[in-house]
Amino acid sequence: MTPGTVYLVGAGPGEAGLITVKGLRCLRAADVVVYDRLVNPQLLREAKPEAELIYVGKAPDRQAFKQEEINDLLVDLARQGRTVCRLKGGDPFVFGRGGEEAEALAANGVPFEVVPGVTSAVAAPAYAGIPVTHRQWASSLAFITGHEDPTKGPSALRWEQLAGGVDTLVFLMGVGRLPAIVENLLRHGRDPRTPVALVRWGTYPVQETLVGTLGDIVEKAQVANFQPPAVVVVGEVVRLREKLRWFDTKPLFGQRVLVTRARAQASVLAELLREQGAQPIEFPLLRIVPLDFQARLEELLAAGFPFDWVLFTSANGVTVFLEALRKLGCDARVFGGVKIGTIGPATKEALAPWGLKADYCPRTFVAEQLAAEFPEPPQGLRILLPRAREAREVLPRTLAERGARVEVLPVYQTVREEGNVPAIQEQFQRGEIEVVTFTSSSSVRYFRELLGEVPLAGVTIACLGPQTAETARQLGLSVDVVAEEYTVPGLVRALVQHVQRGKEHG
């Protein structure tokens, strides 16, 4: 059998968006993903559903596999003819032992490629506002391991050259040996006033940065109980942090936000939260299940689709309804002469991939407004309303009262998603969730059903729209944020404004 190819892929420093385009392509194409401890779990979702995921992570005090076992595993998987993505934190060849793995593959005749990644030696300082080089402060740079190979004898580090001959020193995996690092630098002539920064979990929303000097950083780290994984930056460039820090000043930085949307929709909200510095915790409480409405749809098509308007109240309704049309061999021509109305920009945008445009979208994204501002007299109009089974009756009732002939066509329903309830309950018990977001009344109800009376003192409750907020209040929740614009971006903006007001008022 012809061996498969092994791709030694750098996953980047932590933030999932920092993987390279080629690295992501290799990950998505792999039959097997062999990954390390510091790989962001979010990246593993990019693997194809049938891909095998194998964890081989090492921690300072334990390891799942020895390096020789990892080398043999890669060779064995490739000899089975499988495409392997060896996903490694940072860059494979920067203290990632990728060179050893490549040697093993080459020795066994296994094809391989190296896909470089963004190393934490550069990214973690950058996210802390520290450029590792600067024309005025640093023209030379060294990356140094904090953990040399214990089998090779005395240290190979030339401390006298490092202490006096390099402007910026970046130690990876160095926090555990910080006292020894500092002692060696001072003994070989580095000024004790030299700035030092420790950057923990760099590029993640939980990033922590501790700044001191060679003279006091060991004591500061002990007082703060500063733990790995972290990089150590030594040099004058650390002074630029107060001027250049950008990541940990984001409005929602460090806020742990529970995202309760359906799994297929959660990523949009989660990404917007990350852009504001938050740490989204995805806990889908519902999923969208299409209903069997094909027979009625076939009858409507056979009758010439006899409607003046089709009104969509959600992006889910658009997707489910138009997908059913596609399966019946139909396309946008079905809507020839039929006008389309939508509630909200997300629903409006959902039409675009199908070559459709909305003729009407009310200024306020609620059913009451759509009915009140209808662009022509409803009297005698034939209106189709594809929607959720559990949707409110206000829209069809109001239009019918004004003389329209409305057909409600349930096309999907929301059902409760169970999820890892014990893990979320524990996070609430430990006070590890600062914000809960709700984008629908269903998500509020399912939250109460699944999590009951979890402690919510001090937790911010943020709702998308007044209907969701009203449901939350009826179920005993104290609502802190209601988005004035009933969209996911509007919800995030409202949350940012709420947090900023809280900071201003101390």
pLDDT beyond 70 at 155? no
User: Is there a single domain that holds both residue 174 and residue 189?
Assistant: yes
In this structure, is residue 342 part of a structural domain? Answer: yes
Q: Is 88 a catalytic site residue? A: no
Mean pLDDT throughout 384-392? 89
Which of 474, 433, 424 shows the shortest CA–CA distance to 456? Answer: 433
| Spatial CA neighbour of 102 closest among 90, 81, 116 | 116
Cβ–Cβ under 8 Å, residues 464 and 491: yes
CATH number, domain with residue 335: 3.40.50.10090
Tell me the pLDDT band of 212, cut-offs 50, 70 and 90.
very high
Q: Judge if 426 and 374 occupy the same domain.
A: no
Same domain, 212 and 275: no
Residue located via tokens 């904090």: 146
Same domain membership, residue 240 and residue 126: yes
pTM of the model: 0.84
pLDDT, residue 75, reads 97
Residue pair 31/49 in contact by the 8 Å Cβ criterion = no
CA distance 93 to 9: 10
**In the predicted model, is pLDDT for residue 151 greater than 70?**
no
Residue 343: pLDDT above 90?
no
In the annotation, is 58 catalytic?
A: yes
Residues 387 and 293 in one domain: yes
208, 294: one domain: no
- How many angstroms separate the Cα of 187 from the Cα of each of 71, 184, 192, 337? 39, 5, 10, 84
Percent above pLDDT 70 for the chain: 95
Q: How confident is the model at residue 59 (pLDDT cuts 50, 70, 90)?
A: low
Q: 274 and 350 share a domain? A: no
Catalytic residue among 22, 58, 220, 339: 58
**3-state DSSP assignment of residue 286:** strand
User: Is residue 455 one of the residues assigned to a domain?
Assistant: yes
Q: What pLDDT, in 10s, does the model give residues 215-249?
A: 999 999 999 999 999 999 999 999 999 999 999 99
Q: What's the CA gap between 234 and 197, in Å, rounded?
A: 7
- Residue 1 resides in a domain: no
**What is the rounded average pLDDT for all residues in the chain?**
92
What pLDDT is stored for residue 63 in this prediction?
Answer: 62
Whether the CB-CB separation of 43 and 11 falls below 8 Å is answered with yes
pLDDT of residue 203: 96
Give the structural domain span for 212: 122-244
pLDDT at 278: 95
The answer to whether residue 473 scores a pLDDT higher than 80 is yes
Same domain, 410 and 422: no
Q: How many domains are contained in the chain? A: 4
CATH number of the domain bearing residue 203 = 3.30.950.10
Looking at the predicted structure, is the pLDDT value of residue 386 above 70?
Answer: yes
Statement: residue 369 has pLDDT above 90: no
Let me know if residue 249 belongs to a domain.
no
pLDDT digits (tens, 9 = 90+) for 87-122: 999 999 999 899 999 999 999 999 999 999 999 999
Cβ(396)–Cβ(419) below 8 Å: no
CATH number at residue 100: 3.40.1010.10
pLDDT of residue 418: 81
Contacts 24+ apart (CB under 8 A), 371-379: 371/395, 371/398, 371/399, 371/402, 372/398, 374/341, 374/399, 374/402, 377/402, 377/403, 378/402, 378/403, 378/404, 379/403, 379/404
Last residue of a domain, one of 98, 117, 136: 117
Mean pLDDT of 454-473: 92
Selected catalytic residue, list 88, 91, 173, 348:
173
For 419, half-sphere exposure in the C-beta direction (CA atoms, 13 angstrom radius) is 27
Cβ atoms of residues 93 and 99 within 8 Å = yes
Residues 294 and 405 grouped into a single domain: yes
* pLDDT for residue 62: 60
**Residue 495, in any domain of the structure:** yes
Strand partners, 208: 200
Cα–Cα nearest to 88, from 79, 100, 75, 97:
97
Q: What is the pLDDT of residue 506?
A: 63
Closest CA to 437 of 296, 203, 258: 258
66 an active-site residue? no
What integer pLDDT is reported at residue 366 of this predicted model? 66
441-451 vs 421-429: helix crossing angle, rounded to 10 = 80
Does residue 250 fall inside a structural domain?
A: no
Same domain flag for 410 and 293: yes
Residues 401 and 483 in one domain: no
Last residue in a domain, options 391, 414, 437: 414
pLDDT of residue 147: 66
Residue at a domain's end among 395, 414, 433: 414
Same-domain check for residues 450 and 476: yes
